[in-house]
Amino acid sequence: MVSLGARVFLLLLLALGAWGKTLPSYIKPCSIKLSDKRMSECALKSAREAWPIVFYGDPEYNTPSLNPLHLDRLVVIDGKGPLGMRLITTDVKLYGLNSTIINSTTHVTNPPTDTYVITIPNLQILAKYNVTGRILLLPIVGQGNVEMVLKYVTVAYQFDWKLEKLEDGITYYLPQPGARLDLDVQGMTVHLDNLFNGDKALLELTNNFLNEEWREVFDSLQPSFAKAISEVITRILSGIFRQVPFKEAFTDVEE
């Protein structure tokens, strides 16, 4: 006879998912026994099938919605480089992640490491901006809305996995912090709206300058952009794999 208290506790545990979940239905598990090459192929197929659903976010697994992806703040130009200005964006929304192409996944078992290469053909970033600095010796100060469009953003994301026993005594297969991320882009446009104290000519000059120097703008944007992208991918992977025990994450784990 199980006491009422124990039963309530049991229900609470179940409600909290404290015994670990299974993989979300939209992620197909692979066999743990596959060779690296076959595992890479299985992971690619699984990731491509899951993406259109992962994209909408899943509160049950704490994964964020990417439709659009929200960021509180993104440093576009940090004020230290050759561009001579500081351009900070806030209330940032990224559109176009629904068209993400997953080019490849490469799995290595020993030590366990995955590399994902993805391409976003058309990434639109809408945000509020705040700019201070100088352009061609003229002081500029202003704020308004900015639209940036990045063409063919390629992201190579590499991270390690580790088997870890969590507080619940269950073994999980967890993505490790310290992912390596490489970014490239084929082109970029920047458009600041609003006027610098009503000065249309100065606004046009600034937009033209930023578009001509888009490589510099991208290089300056790269560190904070890479960090943001990396955090999102980590959030998705951790959201899922911190809740799904190792034996549920693959089809045939023997314990």
Ligand X SMILES: *[C@@H]1O[C@H](CO)[C@@H](O)[C@H](O)[C@H]1NC(C)=O
**Residue 101 is a binding residue for ligand X (CB under 6 A):** yes
**Residue 56 is a binding residue for ligand X (CB under 6 A):** no
| Minimum distance of ligand X from residue 52's CB (angstroms) | 8
Tokens of 104: 């490849």
Tokens of 158: 């590499």
Is residue 24 within 8 Å of residue 61, measured between CB atoms?
yes
Tally: H helices and E strands in the chain: 5, 8
| Minimum distance of ligand X from residue 225's CB (angstroms) | 17
**Residue 98 is a binding residue for ligand X (CB under 6 A):** yes
**Residue 132 is a binding residue for ligand X (CB under 6 A):** yes
Out of 22, 31, 35, 103, the only residue in the binding site for ligand X (CB under 6 A) is: 103
| Minimum distance of ligand X from residue 111's CB (angstroms) | 24
Instruction: Report the distance separating Cα 164 and Cα 245, nearest Å.
Output: 10
Stretch that binds ligand X, among 24-32, 34-42, 97-105, 212-220 (CB under 6 A): 97-105
Is residue 148 within 8 Å of residue 188, measured between CB atoms?
yes
| Minimum distance of ligand X from residue 197's CB (angstroms) | 14
Q: Compute and round to an integer the Cα radius of gyration of the chain.
A: 23
Out of 143, 145, 189, 251, the only residue in the binding site for ligand X (CB under 6 A) is: 143
**Residue 115 is a binding residue for ligand X (CB under 6 A):** no
**Residue 117 is a binding residue for ligand X (CB under 6 A):** yes
| Minimum distance of ligand X from residue 130's CB (angstroms) | 4
Q: Which is nearer to ligand X, 63 or 89 (CB)?
A: 89
CA-CA distances (angstroms) from residue 246 to 49, 113, 207, 220?
21, 16, 51, 40
Stretch that binds ligand X, among 94-102, 157-165, 167-175, 233-241 (CB under 6 A): 94-102
**Residue 119 is a binding residue for ligand X (CB under 6 A):** yes
Q: Is 8 exposed, middle or buried (0-12, 13-18, 19+ CB in 10 A)?
A: exposed
Q: Which is nearer to ligand X, 132 or 189 (CB)?
A: 132
The 3-state secondary structure of 174-227, one letter per residue = EECCCCEEEEECCEEEEEECCCECCEHHHHHHHHHHHHHCHHHHHHHHHHHHHH
∠ Cα 33 179 152 (to 5°): 100
**Residue 145 is a binding residue for ligand X (CB under 6 A):** no
The SS3 call for residue 141 is strand
**Residue 22 is a binding residue for ligand X (CB under 6 A):** no
Tokens of 236: 């998705």
Q: Which is nearer to ligand X, 17 or 52 (CB)?
A: 52
| Minimum distance of ligand X from residue 101's CB (angstroms) | 5
Residues that bind ligand X (CB under 6 A): 98-99, 101, 103, 117, 119, 130, 132, 143, 154
